[in-house]
Amino acid sequence: MEIWINPACSKCRSALSILDAEAAEYTVRRYLEDPPDEAEIRAVLARLGLEPWDITRTGEGQAGELGMDTWPRDADARDRWIGALAENPILIQRPIITADDGTTVVARSEDAVRSALP
């Protein structure tokens, strides 16, 4: 499995602690240093069954600068949201775990992290 993290994020550190305690095998992706491209974001969204605005950290300063609170949340605006996430990875909700079996979760709770474990 792979986990997208920001090391400064307490939820990310907590998720890593759970994975380590369970002796899970995983790869860390520091997504601010190695940002996902639009295709990767689309793939994760498909696996999550979510839309880009569902995984956007709209409270981030960058979201405010972009005026995202006024952006439509519909199919016509989907590409705009995905482009913004690819260009501004700080806006991506974290941590995100993608497991080899297809399970993908926004792992902000212990239950969510555990749901990605085999």
Which is the catalytic residue, given 9, 43, 48, 77?
9
Contact status, residue 6 vs residue 16, Cβ threshold 8 Å: no
Segments in the chain forming alpha helices (H):
10-21, 38-48, 61-66, 78-87, 110-115
Would you call 12 a catalytic residue per the annotation?
Answer: no
Q: Catalytic residue numbers?
A: 9
